[in-house]
């Protein structure tokens, strides 16, 4: 891989998957998460690692290597309050349309380029995010 490709991938990874963390109030009116409808596949794991882990961390704990450069820390997917207060549909929308679509950080880019027509992959990534529930 040449230096231009590596630089592009590094910049894309830095921006991929980062959202604005919201303070939790301990209460939520959101519907509790439903079990994923599709299994978490290796493709979903690979996609998360490439697109989300730089900010969210490989275990979804908001400890990815890119967070030092972010203006707002991404959410910790292992936080039970976050899990209970966030619907699968909100997760899907954030992944597809980017952070601003769900009132989060503009540092999280839209992922429609990767998920268009690939609902199984998208559902697998949502399922993986749900698997970080801390239980």
Angstrom distances, CA of residue 18 to CA of 3, 31, 74, 115, 126: 24, 23, 6, 17, 15
Q: State residue 119's pLDDT score.
A: 85
Using one digit for the tens of pLDDT, what is the confidence trace for 64-103?
999 999 999 999 999 999 999 999 999 999 999 999 999 9
Q: State residue 28's pLDDT score.
A: 45
- Neighbouring residues of 19: CB distance < 8 A, sequence distance ≥ 6: 55, 72, 74, 75, 94, 99, 102, 104, 105, 107, 108
Q: State residue 11's pLDDT score.
A: 36
Positions of the chain with pLDDT lower than 50, given as ranges: 1-29, 36
Q: State residue 35's pLDDT score.
A: 52
Q: State residue 135's pLDDT score.
A: 58
Neighbours of 12 (CB within 10 A): 13
Distance CA 25, CA 66 (A): 27
Domain segments of the chain: what residues?
A: 3-18+32-131
Q: State residue 115's pLDDT score.
A: 78
- Residues 72, 55 contacting (CB under 8 angstroms): no
C-alpha angle 40-43-48 in degrees, rounded to nearest 5: 80
Q: State residue 74's pLDDT score.
A: 94
Q: State residue 38's pLDDT score.
A: 60
Q: State residue 114's pLDDT score.
A: 78
Q: State residue 118's pLDDT score.
A: 80
Place of tokens 């989060």: 104
- DSSP assigned state of 31: P
């Amino acid at each position: 891989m040449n230096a231009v490709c590596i630089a592009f991938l590094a910049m894309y990874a830095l921006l991929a998957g980062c959202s604005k963390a919201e303070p939790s109030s301990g209460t939520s009116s959101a519907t509790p998460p439903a079990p994923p409808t599709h299994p978490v596949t290796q493709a979903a794991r690979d996609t998360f690692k490439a697109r989300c882990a730089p900010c969210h961390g490989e275990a979804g704990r908001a400890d990815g290597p890119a967070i030092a450069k972010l203006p707002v820390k991404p959410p910790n997917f292992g936080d039970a309050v976050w899990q209970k207060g966030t619907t699968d549909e909100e997760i899907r929308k954030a992944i597809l349309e980017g952070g601003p679509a769900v009132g989060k950080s503009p540092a999280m880019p839209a992922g429609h380029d990767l998920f268009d027509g690939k609902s199984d992959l998208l559902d697998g990534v949502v399922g993986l995010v749900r698997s970080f529930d801390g239980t």
